[in-house]
Amino acid sequence: VQCKRRYRLFISQCPPKNKIVYTFSDIISTVEFNCSGELLATGDKGGRVVIFQREQESKNRLLSRGEYNVYSTFQSHEPEFDYLKSLEIEEKINKIRWLPQQNAAHFLLSANDKTIKLWKISERDKRAEGYNLKDEDGRLRDQFRITTLRVPVLMPMDLMVEASPRRIFANAHTYHINSISVNSDYETYLSADDLRINLWHLEITDRSFNIVDIKPANMEELTEVITAAECHPHQCNVFVYSSSKGTIRLCDMRAAALCDRHSKFFEEPEDPSSRSFFSEIISSISDVKFSHSGRYMMTRDYLSVKVWDLNMENRPVETYQVHEYLRSKLCSLYENDCIFDKFECCWNGSDSAIMTGSYNNFFRMFDRNTRRDITLEASRENSKPRAMLKPRKVCTGGKRKKDEISVDSLDFNKKILHTAWHPKENVIAVAATNNLYIFQDKIN
Amino acid sequence: MFSKGTKRKFSDGGEEISDESLLGARVASSYSLQRQSLLDMSLIKLQLCHMLVEPNLCRSVLIANTVRQIQEEMTHDGSWHMVTEAFCSAGQSPSERLVATEVLCRSREQDAEPKLFSVISYEGCCEEEVVADETLCSVSVSDTVSNVCLAGRMGQCWEKSELSGIERDEEALEDSRLGSGEEEEIDTEDGASTESPKTIGQVFGTFEIKNGSPGPDSALEELFSDVDTSYYDLDTMLTGMQSAPKMGPYDLLDSLAPSHSSPSIVSTPNCRSDLNELDHIMEIIVGS
């Protein structure tokens, strides 16, 4: 346990400046750009947060198009032991969400299964010198020696980035937290576990409001859980949550204190011809994300990504197949538990493209306008300098073409669950197990 | 695969009529074999859930729903009837079995201490009735009323006999292991009872997991042995704990421990966790 927690980061920079790979000592469990895209936060299974900062582009180094370098690392959560339940609480970071920047410091929320913490990341590049009461090395001066009074002077020092926990929001979740989302009012945020959603005020840690509770009176009647939740990007009274049955509920907090009754209910009618025993499992939504415009939302289920218009509840407006070739393999994927993998999805800054991960370190991008899609691989092998990533293709049957890979050769241990897209530019971060890839994407 | 209606290619020509019926029979039996193996796999997964330190609730719910679906379909097909007959001892009428399990349910309820534990086991066995009724109502059986009634009875018959089957198995196991007449139904997670699949309700009912091997923790257990467990919220109990059921002799737990391979949380160095826990509590109190 001790050496798991001692953090080792290996930095390896591949020759192409458009691709950077960071290798972590733990599996990466979440990736998130901040609102400006200047910072990229990652959380891992060991409870650590690593923040990368984009270099300022300088005229001298033309080739450096703003690389991301390590900015700060800190231990966010520690493993805990709940004595009442005799249960160990994992320190794995499930989600990180940035707060919009309001001053020189940066704030983010990080959550493990049970506790959310607000961290302040601040820079210190000056140090006060010339104290009256203490020496340069901090020792208290002998009072008799103080003969003059002076004003301390701020002197420059090496940049130091400090992370300090400012709030700890604990003891509000009986089940495992799967989502946190900062509200557009910048004062509140919500946290969701399997059965409940709580609303917090960023300043208040000793209580939260429960706004959704789907726990049945009798646990044996439980057939549906909450899988993800998010606040609307502009309307601070609106949020959505998705379920394991493939439904999304949009709630308005103005309607009632307890939002058990939804305002809108999104569900696509099932296709009876493709019904199987796995239909429900693959319909379970693993991620839900509002578009930046706030007009659409995107959901990820096991085989597809769907874009919904908030004004239309009965079906999505767009459906993208991520890896349809897996449909005939559902039984094996059920056996090895891969069918329960929770893939995330993300929008690009202009909402014109969406991205999500798959197996074999593949990730997929869909252009909503042209309806083109591409499959790329996050691997160290394609390392030609500044070359575009070669698109990959999976062949489903029949003859396999030269560069194609067959479904049966896919490595299901190499899964890309977490991806993030820069809010303004074509820069993407892809987490492949314990490797973080940052690509300067050339697709416009 | 396992989706309904998949047919294998039948390239042989032969006589049409008999081949078709043969093909139909073959496809049907292959489908029900596959369905059975899916059911077995699901039940094993559910049992394994109980061995984990922190069972994933979403995964458990999805697997349980899958099992329920298979049960529904098998009941609809009438193949549940055959499954139940496999479990029932010959010559016992359905009503007798019903009575037997009623009695068991009732005795659970009276065992009030600790309230927590009896709630699980009570609901664990009697709740099945409710589940069966609901699912059968939702299954689209044929129009005639009599068929519906028959299906209803069959389902209940399975649920109840299933239960009694499990009771008998568990008692037998306990007897062989302990040599003591332990009355209470302990939802065990031992793999030995896989041939009598657990019922759905017991999935979430058995989220109260048994303690790991006492070992260095025996001092800790003694410390908490007088804690009133009825104080605990049903919530906390049902989120997949490894908590020692405070009733029953400790040697019962001892003998159960080797039956499952749950990662022993005892291995966590308690001192450091103690300090972390204390720090954490202090932070909350101080409100820093």
Domain regions of chain B by residue span: 21-105
Per-residue pLDDT, B85: 61
Summarised one tens digit per residue, pLDDT across range B182-229 is 333 333 333 333 333 444 444 454 443 333 344 445 555 555 555 555
Length of chain B: 288
The DSSP result for A304-342, as a single string, is EEEEEETT--SS-SEEEES-GGGGGGHHHHHHTTGGG--
Q: Which of A3, A89, A220, A331 is most worth mutating to test chain B (most B CB atoms within 10 A of its CB)? A: A220
Residue A56 in contact with residue A66, Cβ under 8 Å?
yes
Q: CA-CA distance, A109 to A115, in Å (whole number)? A: 10
A274 touches chain B (CB under 8 A): yes
Per-residue pLDDT band at A11 (split at 50, 70, 90) = very low
DSSP tally for chain A: helices H, then strands E: 3, 33
**Chain B residue with minimum CA distance to A81:** B273
Best residue in B8, B33, B61 for a mutation probing chain A (most A CBs within 10 Å): B61
Say whether pLDDT at A368 is over 90. Answer: yes
Joined together, the tokens standing for residue A357 give 């991960």
Q: Which of A40-44, A268-272, B90-94 has the highest mean pLDDT?
A: A40-44
A171 and chain B: CB distance < 8 Å anywhere?
yes
Res. B273 pLDDT band, cuts 50 70 90: low
Sheet holding A238-243, edge to edge: A226-231, A238-243, A248-252, A264-266
Residue B266, SS3? helix
Residue A60: pLDDT band (50, 70, 90) is low
Alpha-carbon distance B250 to B182, whole Å? 13
Distance from C-alpha of A420 to C-alpha of A439, rounded to nearest angstrom: 11
Mean pLDDT over all residues of chain A? 89
- Please give, rounded to a whole number of angstroms, the shortest distance from the CA of A382 to a CA of chain B: 35
Contacts of B131 in chain A (CB under 8 A): 220
**Mean pLDDT along residues A309-325:** 96
What is the per-residue pLDDT across B140-189, written as a single tens digit (0 to 9) for each? Answer: 333 333 333 333 333 333 333 343 444 444 444 444 443 343 333 333 33
Domain boundaries, chain A: 9-441
Q: How many CB atoms lie within 10 A of CB B112?
A: 11
The H or E element that residue B209 is part of is strand B208-209
- In angstroms and rounded to an integer, the radius of gyration of the C-alpha atoms of chain B is 23
Helix (H) or strand (E) holding A20: strand A19-23
* A385 touches A16 (CB < 8 A): yes
Alpha-carbon gap, residue A72 to B55, rounded angstroms: 33
Whether pTM > 0.80 for this model: the answer is: no
- Bond into B114 cis (ω within 30): yes
- Residue A405 pairs in a beta bridge with A394
Rounded Cα distance between B108 and B110, Å, is: 5
- Residue A344 or residue B240, greater confidence: A344
Confidence band, pLDDT 50/70/90 cuts, at residue A329: very high
Higher-confidence residue: B274 or B156?
A: B274
Query: Which residues of chain A from 346 to 405 reach within 8 Å of chain B, CB to CB?
Result: none
Axis-axis angle for helices B79-87, B145-178 (nearest 10): 30
Which residues 6+ apart lie within 8 Å of A76 measured at CB?
A43, A47, A48, A49, A93, A110, A112, A117, A119, A165
Task: Report the gap between the CA of A11 and the closest CA in chain B (Å).
Answer: 31
Which H/E stretch holds residue A51? strand A48-54
Highest mean pLDDT among A376-390, B50-64, B244-258: B50-64
A392 and A328 in contact (C-beta within 8 Å)?
Answer: no
3-state secondary structure of A384: coil
Query: How does B186-216 read in b/e, with b if 16+ C-beta sit within 10 Å?
Result: bbbbbeebeebbbbbbbbbbbbbbbbbebee
Q: If DSSP codes are grouped into helix, strand and coil, which group holds residue A385? A: coil
CA B78 – CA B92 distance, rounded (Å): 20
For the A9-441 domain, the top CATH level (class) is: mainly beta
Q: How confident is the model at residue B4 (pLDDT cuts 50, 70, 90)?
A: low
Q: Concatenated DSSP letters for A116-137? A: EEEEEEEEEEEEEE--SSB-TT
Asked if the model's pLDDT at residue A301 lies above 50, the reply is yes
Looking at per-residue pLDDT, the higher value among B81 and A229 belongs to A229
pLDDT of residue B67: 94
Distance from CA of A204 to the nearest CA of B (A): 10
**Radius of gyration from C-alpha coordinates of chain A:** 24
CA distance A15 to B200: 55
Helix (H) or strand (E) run with residue B273 in it: helix B270-286
Q: Hey, what are A59's tokens?
A: 């005229």
CA distance A83 to A342: 30
What mean pLDDT is predicted for residues B132-137? Answer: 36
Residue of B57, B201, B232 lying closest to A225 (CB–CB): B57
Instruction: Locate the chain B residue with the closest alpha carbon to A171.
Output: B284
Count CB atoms within 10 A of the CB of residue A62: 8
Longest C-alpha distance within chain A, in Å?
Answer: 92
CA end-to-end span of chain B, whole Å?
57
* Residue A369 near residue A352, CB atoms below 8 Å: yes
Three-class DSSP category at A264: strand
Give the tens place of pLDDT for each residue, B35-50.
999 999 999 998 876 6
- In this predicted model, which residue has the larger pLDDT, A362 or B256? A362
Residue A280 at interface with chain B, using a CB cutoff of 8 Å: yes
Give the three-state DSSP class for A357: strand
- The token pair at B217 is 């923790």
| Nearest of A393, A418, A372 to residue A325 by alpha carbon | A393
Backbone angles phi, psi at B206, to 5 degrees: -95, 25
Q: Do B235 and A174 touch (CB under 8 A)?
A: yes
Measured CA to CA, the distance from residue A163 to residue A127 in angstroms comes to 17
Mean pLDDT over each residue of chain B, to the nearest integer: 52
Among A256-260, B51-55, B202-206, where is mean pLDDT lowest? B202-206
Q: Which residues contact A400 (CB under 8 A, 6 or more apart)?
A: A406
Residues B225-242 pLDDT 10s: 555 554 444 444 444 443
Residues of chain B with pLDDT > 70: what percent?
22
Q: What does the pLDDT average to over B258-273?
A: 44
Scan residues 135-164 of B and list those with Cβ closer than 8 Å to A: none
The answer to whether A277 contacts chain B (CB < 8 Å) is: yes
B268 pLDDT more than 80: no
| H helix runs in A219-311, sequence order | 279-283
Choice among A3-17, A168-182, A221-235 with the minimum mean pLDDT: A3-17
Which residues does chain A have within 8 Å of residue B66's beta carbon, measured at their own beta carbons?
277-278, 280-281
Amino acid at A44: D
Among residues A307, A347, A343, A308, the alpha carbon closest in space to that of A326 is found at A343
Which comes out higher in pLDDT, residue A398 or A386? A398
**What's the one-letter identity of residue A394?**
V
Q: Which residue has the higher pLDDT, A329 or B218?
A: A329
Report how far residue A214's alpha carbon sits from residue A222's, in angstroms, rounded to the nearest whole number: 9
What CA–CA distance (Å, rounded) separates B57 from B240?
8
According to DSSP, the residues that pair with A195 across neighbouring strands are none
Q: Which amino acid is at A258?
A: L
Q: For the residues A85-104, what does the mean pLDDT come to?
A: 92
Look at B13 and B274; give whichever has higher pLDDT: B274
Burial of A325 (0-12, 13-18, 19+ CB in 10 A): middle
Nearest in space to A71 (alpha carbons), one of A34, A101, A102? A34
In chain B, residues with a C-beta closer than 8 Å to the C-beta of A222 are: 61, 204
| Out of A19-28, A65-74, A392-401, B134-143, least confident range | B134-143
Q: Which residue of A has its CA nearest to B38?
A: A331
3-state secondary structure of B200: helix
| Contact yes or no for A295/A238 (Cβ under 8 A) | no
